[in-house]
Amino acid sequence: MKKAYPIDKAVIIVKIKATVIHFVFSLLVFLAALAWIRWVLYPDFHFDLNGVWYGLRLIAGVDLVLGPLITLLVYHSAKPMREKVGDFAIAGVVQIIALSYGLHTMYQEHPRMIAFNDYGTAVTVTQREFGESSELPENLAEFDKLAGVPIAAIHPENGVTHYAKLDLSSLQKADEATRRTLNYEDDKQTLADLEKQHGKLYVFGVMGKYQGAFVAMDAAQNLIATFGQRDLH
């Protein structure tokens, strides 16, 4: 039978101190993970389009709440060192498993490529989809990047899909198709304002996992702006 340890004001203060220390350490780990997710896996507008906040809530809930809460409940200054180590190990294992699962999921769903279609829409292709398909290009380093992610134009020929670098001709076709489908006046006005400032731009839609947006590029294929971001579901 486990020994019962008394709880008094002094013990509660020590528990709170241990919990705060655990929380600070967990926060540092979470911030490091967040930096990797925000700047490496989901750069620029890909962060919002792919619903990263949904996954971050789960990671934050376990890393910043559940782990320190376990410490608050089980830590006691009167326990022998072996029990203290065991308690911290349990909390640490729970956090590591949850964090590893969350980061693995985010890695699998991060944008690996943008598949561009001449009819005006580009679709995010995830790391998971790359692993499941043998038809996607392997030479991604050869393609230009849009907001940190390689973008490749799709050219179907005789039932076979070919991937090529995005060129001005493809941008022009996509731009013509996209302008015909701009239904919201605020989107039209935003594009007009951008072109007053930057000159002729080429616009097309990009669809992520949860949201879509319009992308405006200049003739040199520099990203000028994104606008009209909306939920897809």
The 8-class DSSP code of residue 141 comes to G
* Torsion, CA 230, CA 101, CA 63, CA 65, rounded to 10: 80
Burial category of 217 from C-beta neighbours within 10 Å (exposed 0-12, middle 13-18, buried 19 and up): buried
The C-alpha atoms of residue 224 and residue 221 are separated, in whole angstroms, by 9
Tell me what percent of the residues of the chain surpass a pLDDT of 70: 96
The C-alpha atoms of residue 212 and residue 121 are separated, in whole angstroms, by 10
pLDDT per residue as tens digits for the range 138-179: 888 899 999 999 999 988 776 678 889 999 999 999 999 999
pTM: predicted TM-score of the whole model, two decimal places: 0.83
Question: Residue 2: which pLDDT band, with cuts at 50, 70 and 90?
Answer: low
